[in-house]
């Protein structure tokens, strides 16, 4: 099947990045969120990133304009009536995603693929909300989307080979490398990454060391490009908590118990870089 028109749901840090790489890859994109101010904010972020690319002479000014023209803000879900694929990147909450997929199933044309950028939620359960489980798939981009090369493609129980192939081809047209993963909590990436981040937060919580020194140990000692506490702030502490809760609930092992300090920060609204304050302060 040919994919031309994309709808990205959620204009936050992931959704705006996905819309940017899709537009740069030649697709027409609806960037959808709950309010116009959010889609505008998402589009403004894309504009600023592209302007930096122009300054560094990686793209021309005409390229920038062409990419921006391909992105159309949307607050009306009925725009899904005209798309070939939806990539959902709304908040990491099962109820929100189930509700969206039900509505999208009613609106999107029969041929359209419904993909989710979920970090950890079961694709099979999301697919069960629709009458097209064979066309539902996980398309898990990494943060920041324009820079990170990987897309984890997650097959739900009923995802068809045709859907998998179309999504893998799209990922490669976006100059990403994809890997095929089965539908288990946290997939591969967050099954491994998130317990490490959670353990780093426990290490801070138990007073073993400071946030700066924990990050330093993992950067200089383990050759990680970014320390786990900083990475948690970049991912978003709410997203980290949702993922740990999914691992804990679905896999049932105490080793996945979210650190109380992570819970406390999320309750305080300290969500990391996106809210200006997490384990570190940002201005
Ligand atoms: P974010 O908080 O930056 O953005 C989420 C956006 O979704 C917000 O703009 C919000 O208004 C919008 N939204 C919420 N409910 C909506 C609805 N019903 N309809 C339309 N829009 C809605 O979050 P994010 O970091 O961009 O994460 C989005 C998704 O991507 C989550 O599922 C997350 O797990 C996943 N993800 C995140 C990362 C990461 O590093 N942050 C990496 C990979 C995947």
SS3 string, 112-180, reads: CEEEECCCCCCHHHHHCCCCCHHHEEEEEECCCCCCCCEEEEEECCCCCHHHHHHHHHHHHHCCCEEEE
What pLDDT does residue 198 have? Answer: 98
State the DSSP code for 58: S
Select from 89, 69, 59, 56 the least CA-distant residue to 23: 69
Count CA atoms closer than 13 A to 68's CA, side-chain side.
18
Catalytic residue status for 51? no
Provide the phi-psi class of 276: left if phi over 0, else alpha when psi is between -120 and 50, else beta: left
Give the list of residues 6+ apart from residue 221 with CB closer than 8 angstroms, or none.
none
Domain ranges (residues) in the chain: 5-182, 190-274
**Domain 5-182: CATH superfamily, name plus number:** NAD(P)-binding Rossmann-like Domain (3.40.50.720)
Quick one: pLDDT at residue 283? 83
Distance between CA atoms of 200 and 177, rounded to whole angstroms?
Answer: 29
119 catalytic? Reply is yes
How many angstroms separate the CA atoms of 216 and 228, rounded?
9
**pLDDT at residue 78, as a whole number:** 96
ipTM surpasses 0.95: yes
Q: Which of the residues 16, 74, 117, 119 is marked catalytic?
A: 119
- CA 118 to ligand 1 centroid distance, Å: 8
Distance in angstroms (rounded) separating the CA atoms of residues 12 and 9: 9
Nearest CA to ligand 1 atom 40: 235
Residue 151 and residue 18: Cα distance in Å, rounded?
11
189 to 15, 194, 248: CA distances (angstroms): 19, 8, 16
10-residue mean pLDDT profile of the chain (283 residues): values are 95 97 98 98 97 96 98 97 98 95 98 96 96 98 96 98 98 98 95 98 98 98 98 97 95 96 98 97 92
Is residue 190 part of the annotated active site? The answer reads yes
pLDDT of residue 1: 76
Active site residue 2: no
Of 79, 152, 178, 198, the catalytic one is: 152
Topology of domain 190-274 in CATH is 1.10.1040
Lining ligand 1 with CB less than 6 A are 9-15, 32-34, 38, 89-92, 96, 100, 117-119, 140-141, 143, 235-236, 239, 274
What's phi and psi for 84, nearest 5 deg? -100, -25
* Residue ranges at the known binding site: 10-15, 33, 92, 97, 119, 143, 274
Rounded Cα distance between 249 and 25, Å, is: 38
pLDDT at 120: 87
**What phi, psi does 163 have (nearest 5°)?**
-65, -45
Taking the C-alpha atoms of residue 169 and residue 153, their distance in angstroms, rounded to an integer, is 11
Q: Are 171 and 153 in contact (CB under 8 A)?
A: yes
The structure's pTM equals: 0.93
| Number of other CB atoms surrounding residue 97 within 10 Å | 20
pLDDT of 60 reads 96
Please list, in sequence order, all residues whose beta carbon lies within 8 angstroms of the beta carbon of residue 261, skipping any fewer than 6 positions away. 201, 202, 204, 205
């Amino acid at each position: 099947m040919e994919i031309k028109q994309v709808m990205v749901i959620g204009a936050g840090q992931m959704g705006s990045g996905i819309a940017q790489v899709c537009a740069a890859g030649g697709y027409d994109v609806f960037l959808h969120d709950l309010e116009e101010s959010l889609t505008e904010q998402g589009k403004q972020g894309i504009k600023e990133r592209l302007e930096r690319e122009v300054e560094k002479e990686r793209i021309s000014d005409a390229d920038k304009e062409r990419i921006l023209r391909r992105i159309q803000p949307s607050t009306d879900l009925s725009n899904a009536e005209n798309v070939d694929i939806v990539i959902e990147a709304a908040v990491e909450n099962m109820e929100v995603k189930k509700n969206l997929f039900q509505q999208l199933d009613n609106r999107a044309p029969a041929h359209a693929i419904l993909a989710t950028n979920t970090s950890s939620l079961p694709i099979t359960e999301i697919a069960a909300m629709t009458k097209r489980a064979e066309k539902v798939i996980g398309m898990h981009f990494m943060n920041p989307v324009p820079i990170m090369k990987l897309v984890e493609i997650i097959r739900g129980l009923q995802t068809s080979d045709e859907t998998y192939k179309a999504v893998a081809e799209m990922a490669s047209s976006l100059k990403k490398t994809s890997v095929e993963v089965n539908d288990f909590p946290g997939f591969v990436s967050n099954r491994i990454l998130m317990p490490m981040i959670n353990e780093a937060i426990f290490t801070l919580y138990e007073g073993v060391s400071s946030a700066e020194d924990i990050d330093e140990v993992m950067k200089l000692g383990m050759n990680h490009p970014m320390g786990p506490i900083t990475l948690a702030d970049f991912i978003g502490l709410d997203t980290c908590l949702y993922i740990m809760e999914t691992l804990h609930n679905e896999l049932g092992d105490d080793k996945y118990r979210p650190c109380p300090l992570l819970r406390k920060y999320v309750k305080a609204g300290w969500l990391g870089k996106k809210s200006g304050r997490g384990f570190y302060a940002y201005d």
